[in-house]
Amino acid sequence: MRRYLLSRMAQLVPVVFGVVTIVFLLIHLIPGDPVEIMLGESAVAAQKEELRRDLKLDRPIAAQYAEFLGGLATGDLGVSFRSREPVLREILSRFPATLLLAAASLLVAVSIAVPLGILSAMRRRSWLDHLSAFLAMLGLSMPNFWLGPLLILVFSIHLGLFPVGGYGTARHLVLPALTMGTGMAAILMRMLRSSLLEEIHREYVRAASAKGLSRRAAVLRHALGNSLIPVLTVLGLQFGALLAGSVITETIFSWPGIGRLTIQAIDARDYPLVQGCVLFIALCTVAVNLATDLLYSRLDPRIRYE
């Protein structure tokens, strides 16, 4: 296990390095000057040059990249152009809101996917199975940028049940969590159904039934645990996608998380903040995937990392 963990940690280095390099080059090469955005078009050339020197944007890109890597090695992500605050402090102040939204979305997805996935597998080709398949297809077909405004239109504007946006109470969390959790629930539900159908027909489930267990007990006690291995893989990948997908959802619902902070930083051409946000999301995604791999051996003792 220790050798496997060290190996995976070593693999993180080139992944993070590649993400940082691509983001750095893209944000510096796309059209738009942060100095023009901060001072406006009416500013004189001398003011622009002075601000450019203060932000260290007058140096070659290679020198800026070397300084960024040097700071990254010491945990210094730089200072935001817009707020003049350390990038790491801004990210950490927004991270609890993003983590809360991701956890709530995951809870919504699991609460929908697990019961429907089990019922679909146990009642294959029934009306419930067909209904679950229809709901899964519907959930996969609705992107966040369409579903979010639709939920706002129905539940906020017409019914007045939930706030249009914002942060602070449980009512603010409902619509964003539903927006992000619906698509994930559809994927998990179909994956659980397929995996559970394979396990139901194995010999150990039949043996458990032959010993006197009911079909439901045999499935829930024995088959369900083994069928969760592929589901856990998808769950880990989707949790990372939740962090990345929060960029759209947080913007729609004015949720003060890292996703909305990333959009604001891109609009302002705040290079250090954009780089820090993307790096943080990438690290969270990689960490979740690593934790998912380590959980495999807990669910299935046959899995060993050598």
Whole-angstrom Cα distance, residue 306 to residue 227?
23
Mean pLDDT of the chain: 81
CA distances from 201 to 116, 194, 204 (A): 19, 12, 9
Domains belonging to the chain, first-starting first, are: 87-299 (1.10.3720.10)
DSSP three-state, residue 43: coil
Residue 173 has pLDDT above 60, yes or no: yes
Q: Is the Cβ–Cβ distance between 186 and 140 less than 8 Å?
A: yes
State the amino acid at position 196 in one-letter form.
Answer: L
Polymer length of the chain:
306
Mean pLDDT of 102-109: 88
Sequence-ordered list of residues with C-beta below 8 angstroms from that of 8, at least 6 positions apart, any chain: 290, 293
Which parts of the chain fold into alpha helices (H)?
2-29, 34-39, 45-54, 61-73, 87-122, 127-141, 144-151, 170-200, 203-210, 215-218, 224-252, 258-267, 271-299
More confident call, 206 vs 87: 87
pLDDT tens-digit series, residues 116-137: 888 888 888 888 878 888 888 8
DSSP state of 269: T
Which of the given ranges, 68-72, 105-109, 290-294, has the highest pLDDT on average? 105-109
Instruction: Quickly list DSSP for 133-176.
Output: HHHHHHHHH--HHHHHHHHIIIIIIIS--S-SS-SSSHHHHHHH
3-class secondary-structure state, position 223: helix
Q: What is the mean pLDDT of residues 226-255?
A: 78
User: What is the reported pLDDT for 153?
Assistant: 92
> pLDDT, tens digit, for every residue of 242-266?
776 678 888 889 888 888 888 888 8
